[in-house]
Amino acid sequence: MKYPNNIIKSNQKNINYSNRGMSLEFDLNITNDYYRDKNIAVIYKKPTPIRVVNVDFTNIKKPIINKAFFEKASTTDYNGIYKGKYVDFEAKEVKSKKSFCLSNIHKHQLEHLFKVKEHKGISFIIVRFIKFNKTFLLDSEILLKFINKGNKSISIDLFNEYGYQVNEGYRPRVDYIKVIDHIYFGG
Amino acid sequence: MKYPNNIIKSNQKNINYSNRGMSLEFDLNITNDYYRDKNIAVIYKKPTPIRVVNVDFTNIKKPIINKAFFEKASTTDYNGIYKGKYVDFEAKEVKSKKSFCLSNIHKHQLEHLFKVKEHKGISFIIVRFIKFNKTFLLDSEILLKFINKGNKSISIDLFNEYGYQVNEGYRPRVDYIKVIDHIYFGG
């Protein structure tokens, strides 16, 4: 398993915060808050795309949307800036103990990740296997290679071999910037 | 007035497409579509943030949101990547013939633009004076200087002097990348 320096010092010390009923999305949001507070990076989760059909303007200061539908996201959930570079990623939790099924990410989201890479940005997926409480970062170039090989899913063993485990702690909760530093900035 | 080379060749040739009942948001969306189609840049408008209160799951495949509220955006409306750099901006239309009132941009949106600059990204505002059908790009560093001087608004004359007019045409509709090239890449 490839670990960036000090990302995980000891498995025993790796306290399981994400088992406290917290989701990966929640963990990433407070991690991003932390990065912004400390002025490390400016990365946000995008709002969920919603198609508004009807709005009640009776209270003009606080209109109520009373008919709307969820829409498919055309891009990934997270993007922002780190050390001047554009950063873009999608994050997913997996219940399976064995593998991450690629159908969990829409085709246009995958294309978006590869497009970002083409434009010299940093793009990857973050996948958490909740049964093992292990969170991995996998670069989108490696992801593309698996897809081109015909893979329909990526096993936890492949994440172990080709991805990077992301340290989980108190602050920051999921320190993926440490992995970015290691992979893309030689840190 | 500072024009990047060829941005506006002739005022007479500058056909007024935005008067065809099209908004700046619409124009920017199709401009961004064009940039993506031509693989020039990957820039999207973020979805409007909406707080969902109640959802009817009777049709599990197409749940209906029947109570929700609009939320204030914590960041700007547009971001993405161009030539490897992170790009971030807010766009506004102005009805006034004289000036753009800074209260049109929320404080946290301004702070976000300055933060992006601090992290070595490209950030600016795009303002269209609809009465004159003129659209300007103003770098956020210059914007910050005006704010620090105590300006509550920015006159069209200041936009003329310190900003860059964005060419409007058929394809792309509002070619702000040309201005970006000129300002940030010396193009």
Question: Looking at beta carbons, which residues of chain A come within 8 Å of B88?
Answer: 81
Residue A43 has a pLDDT of 98
A33–chain B nearest CA distance, Å: 12
Output A34 or A72, whichever has higher pLDDT: A34
Nearest C-alpha in B relative to A66: B66
- For A73, which residue in chain B has the nearest alpha carbon? B47
Closest approach of A20 to chain B, Cα-based (Å): 24
| C-beta neighbour count of A123 within 10 angstroms | 24
Question: Cα–Cα distance between B91 and B24 in angstroms, integer?
Answer: 8
pLDDT band for position A187 (50/70/90)?
confident
d(CA A114, CA A137): 15
- Look at residue B22 in the predicted model and tell me its pLDDT: 66
pLDDT value of position A22: 66
pLDDT band with cut points at 50, 70 and 90 for residue A79? very high
User: Residue A50 and residue B65: Cβ atoms within 8 Å?
Assistant: yes
Q: Which residues of chain B have pLDDT under 70?
A: 1-22
Helix (H, G, I), strand (E, B) or coil at A107: helix
Strands (E), A5-141: 42-45, 50-56, 64-70, 78-82, 85-94, 99-101, 122-129, 134-139
Residue A173 pLDDT greater than 90, yes or no? yes
CA A44/CA A95 separation, integer angstroms: 25
Q: Which of B33, B35, B42 would best serve as a mutation to test chain A binding (most A beta carbons within 10 A)?
A: B42
Using pLDDT thresholds of 50, 70 and 90, give the confidence band for residue A111. Answer: very high
Nearest residue to A147 (alpha-carbon basis) of A99, A87, A91, A107:
A107
DSSP H/E element including B139 = strand B134-139
Nearest neighbour of B86 by CB, restricted to A65, A75, A85: A85
pLDDT of residue A16: 45
Stated pTM of the model: 0.86
State which residue of chain B sits closest to A38, comparing Cα positions: B115
Catalogue all structural domains in chain A, each as residue range(s) with its CATH number.
24-45+73-184 (3.40.1350.10)
pLDDT in tens, A43-77: 999 999 999 999 999 999 999 999 999 998 889 99
- Amino acid residing at A38: K
CA distance A90 to chain B (A): 15
As a whole-number percent, the residues of chain A with pLDDT over 70 amount to: 88
Interface of A with B (CB under 8 A): 36, 39, 41-42, 44, 46-50, 52, 62-71, 73-75, 79-88, 112, 115-116, 118-121
Query: Which pLDDT score, from 0 to 100, does residue B19 have?
Result: 44
Of the partner residues A41, A50, A119, the one whose CB lies closest to the CB of residue B84: A119
**A120:B81 CB<8 A:** yes
The ipTM of this complex is: 0.85
- Residue B137 C-alpha from the chain's centroid: 8
B interface with A, Cβ–Cβ below 8 Å: 36, 39, 41-42, 44, 46-50, 52, 62-71, 73-75, 79-88, 112, 115-116, 118-121
Instruction: Give contacts of A41 with chain B, Cβ < 8 Å.
Output: 119
| Beta carbons of A46 and B47 less than 8 Å apart | yes
Q: How far apart are CA B6 and CA B18, in angstroms?
A: 20
Confidence band, pLDDT 50/70/90 cuts, at residue A1: very low
